């Protein structure tokens, strides 16, 4: 079932997706290297997408975007459109999503893996009430919400010893896409009473630049 409205596009969702989301508009957000989150316009979708839109087609088009541009801001603008197109045409996606592990409260399903493949593409589910560390990713990233709601808090470190500043937060709903620059720092909380399910895509991680942070002291440690 494809849900859509006049103001935006929802992802293609299987029939048991809750109707409560059908009246909600979807938004694109971008978080820069200073953790400033801004609403950004949605690019025009490709009306001639081949259906079904296979994962290998998506991955090839993603490679083309990355090869064609080395600027992560510009790449992410194109990747947001690519992902929205893909998810609108991929009803199989939700069926592949794992349920959260009862003990850990979350689960990850890698959608593609290959020798030396540098990107991370996965479905993630996690239970309401779970709260992540404050972290960056050391890579560009994209999260698209397929189900549930999550709060994203954005943080800025200060001098070591000083508390971090939290300039913004936003609540993401199904159909929303947020992209992150490598130094964007966030903290994610699963809201509501049902698991949050998301499609996550990350560039090649620079582990020397990937940190978690102490909110009270701005101290960074390897993550
Ligand atoms: Fe994250």
Query: What is the CA(195)–ligand 1 centre distance, in A?
Result: 17
- pTM of the full predicted structure? 0.89
What 52-58 contacts at long range (C-beta under 8 Å, 24+ apart), as own/partner pairs, is 52/89, 52/90, 52/91, 52/92, 53/85, 53/86, 53/89, 53/90, 55/90, 55/111, 55/112, 58/82, 58/86
Share of residues in the chain with pLDDT > 90 (%): 78
| Mean pLDDT value across residues 128-133 | 96
Strands (E), 136-219: 141-147, 150-156, 165-172, 177-180, 186-190, 196-202, 211-213
Asked if residue 18 is part of any domain, the answer here is no
Residue 167: band (very low, low, confident or very high) from pLDDT cuts 50, 70, 90:
confident
Asked if residue 16 is part of any domain, the answer here is no
| Mean pLDDT value across residues 134-162 | 97
Residues sharing a CB contact under 8 Å with residue 59, sequence separation 6 or more, in sequence order? 112, 121
Nearest to 99 by CA among 197, 199, 212: 197
Query: What is the CA(202)–ligand 1 centre distance, in A?
Result: 10
Query: What is the CA(209)–ligand 1 centre distance, in A?
Result: 14
Distance CA 181, CA 76 (A): 9
In this structure, what DSSP letter does residue 129 have?
A: T
Asked if residue 17 is part of any domain, the answer here is no
Residue 11: band (very low, low, confident or very high) from pLDDT cuts 50, 70, 90:
low
**Tokens 């850990």 belong to residue:** 104
| pLDDT-wise least confident of 39-53, 94-108, 152-166, 172-186 | 39-53
Query: What is the CA(95)–ligand 1 centre distance, in A?
Result: 23
pLDDT at 85: 92
Whether residue 2 has pLDDT greater than 60:
no
Which domain covers residue 128, as residue numbers? 26-222
Q: Read off the CATH number of the domain in which 112 is found.
A: 2.60.120.10
Whether residue 186 has pLDDT greater than 70:
yes
**Tokens 């009270």 belong to residue:** 216
Whether residue 10 has pLDDT greater than 90:
no
Domain count, the chain: 1
């Amino acid at each position: 079932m494809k849900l859509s409205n006049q103001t935006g596009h929802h992802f293609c969702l299987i029939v048991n997706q809750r109707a409560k989301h059908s009246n909600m508009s979807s938004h694109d957000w971008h978080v820069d290297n200073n953790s400033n989150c801004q609403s950004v316009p949605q690019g025009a979708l490709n009306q001639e997408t081949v259906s079904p839109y296979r994962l290998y087609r998506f991955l090839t088009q993603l490679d083309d975007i990355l090869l064609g541009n080395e600027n992560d801001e510009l790449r992410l603008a194109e990747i947001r459109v690519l992902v929205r197109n893909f998810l609108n045409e991929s009803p199989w996606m939700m069926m592949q999503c794992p349920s959260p592990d009862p003990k850990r409260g979350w689960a990850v399903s890698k959608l593609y893996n290959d020798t030396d493949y540098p990107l991370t593409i996965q479905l993630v589910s996690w239970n309401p009430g779970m709260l992540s560390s404050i972290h960056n990713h050391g890579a560009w990233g994209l999260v698209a919400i397929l189900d549930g709601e999550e709060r994203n808090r954005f943080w800025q470190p200060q001098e070591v010893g000083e508390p971090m500043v939290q300039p913004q937060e936003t609540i993401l709903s199904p159909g929303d896409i947020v992209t992150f620059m490598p130094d964007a720092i966030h903290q994610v909380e699963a809201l509501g009473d049902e698991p949050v399910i998301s499609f996550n895509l990350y560039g090649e991680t620079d582990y020397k630049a990937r940190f978690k942070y102490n909110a009270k002291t701005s101290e960074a440690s390897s993550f």
